[in-house]
A and B are shown apart, each in its own frame.
Chain A
Amino acid sequence: MKFYKNLPSLLLLSFLISCGDNTTTSPIKDITSIAINESNISVYATGSKVLTSTVYYNDGSTKNGSADMVWDNNGSSVIGTTTALIYPVMNGGDANVTIDYSSKFGDSKLVHVKKLISINYSDLNISDIGTPQVIYFNGNFENNETNVTMQRNLTWSVDSNATINEVNASQLTLTVDYNVTSIKLTTTLFEYTENSISFEHIFY
């Protein structure tokens, strides 16, 4: 019978529970869009570029989502992508870089690859046999952009009369091995690909 004495208390508890608040506006933010931040994107054929992306939320806030997106070259033969890094695979051209998240959010931007026209070299003393010599180089690109440092996509070779000791983005160290009248230096862009292009230079 004690239960029946406590029935009013139980009913009151039920009433209090049923009269609780109902949240009508979600306090948990949701995604509204994602976007690639950069515009007018261009990259040298001998370079690369790191892009960034932003996630936009319905409360007005944003977060850097570069590492969370799937970056893609949209089937292009002009550029490649590794996460947020884009790198050319062809000497010149345009392509779209895209980001995607679960096929529900995405963005796309046009990327222009600046074409390498020629390479400038400093002098080499070919009569100086056996001494490592530093040769400075830089690139001439489309639209008359000159003296551009070249960081990637290049391989270097020299004929059998000399040896390349070391190469970095703006200089190579070369040793002349024999007494000859000329030495041919070959620079290959995108070697071992179908887009491979060679630039030759002869030192006298």
Chain B
Amino acid sequence: MKTFILLLIFMSSLFAEAKVYLGTYYALYNESFNEVDASSSSDLVALKIGYGDIKAYAVEFSLEYAQNKAKIFSSTPASDSDGNKFGFNISLLKAFDFTYVYPYVKAGFGTGYLNIQRSLQDSLTYGSFQGTLGTYIPINDIFDAEVAYEIRHSSYQSVNQIVTKPSYSSVSNIVYFGLNFRY
């Protein structure tokens, strides 16, 4: 019963002022690998669509694109870095009404792939989960800016070395700046 009441409160809160919103953000990230001494620092851009209340709950879907500057998986001498990275994320968000700004916490998971150049593989898929702290900064009734910090754990597909197939994971620190349009 208690769960049902909480669910009703959550639903009423979600739908009370809920709107569909579109957004975009630019992010800087630093990715450190757990199994090997390797890191990648670059930037990424994303498009997202969400549904929810800027002061309460929301669900977000985002598409990310990053251009790698590091060479961690690729082995061919011709490549200076790993290739492009594409990702898709789903997140749930809880925001708080602080009058002028709306801080939020967000948690989600995602998947994607990274283009690489190895003798037996030309891409690696990955899965991730992430937690975010950020805030919306309303500009007017339909636009708001967004600043956030995210920490993300990613697990990559195994690397095929024939005899062994090691797997790699990483932790990324991400800061991003975004703009949302609500209607």
Give residues in A with beta carbon < 8 Å to B: 1-3, 10, 13-14, 17-32, 34, 55, 57-58, 63-65, 68, 101-102, 104-105
Contact = CB atoms under 8 A, between A and B. Distances in A.
Interface in B71-88: 71-75, 80-81
The 7 lowest CB-CB distance pairs between A and B, nearest first, are: A20-B41, A30-B75, A20-B30, A22-B70, A23-B38, A18-B28, A63-B163
Nearest to A24: B71
A28 B163 contact: no
Nearest to A29: B161
Contacts, number: 104
Contact of A17 (B30, B80, B137, B164): B30
Contacts of A10: 147, 149, 175
B137 to A, nearest CB: 6
A31 B161 contact: yes
A14 B43 CA distance: 11
Contacts of B38: 23, 26-27
Contacts of B168: 28
A105 B160 CA distance: 13
A17 B39 CA distance: 11
Which residue, B73, B147, B161, B164, has most C-beta atoms of chain A within 10 A? B161
Interface in B144-178: 147, 149, 159, 161-164, 166, 168, 173-175
B97 to A, nearest CB: 14
Interface string B49-87: 000000000000000000001111111000011000000
A26 B117 CA distance: 11
Could you say which of A10, A30, A68 has the most chain B C-beta atoms within 10 Å of its C-beta?
A30
Nearest to B29: A17
Contact of A26 (B28, B30, B43, B71): B71
Nearest to B39: A21
A13 to B, nearest CB: 6
Given A14-B28, A17-B29, A101-B120, 20 more contacts: A3-B101, A10-B149, A13-B149, A14-B175, A17-B28, A18-B28, A18-B43, A20-B40, A22-B42, A23-B39, A23-B70, A24-B70, A26-B75, A28-B36, A30-B119, A32-B119, A55-B163, A58-B75, A63-B163, A65-B163
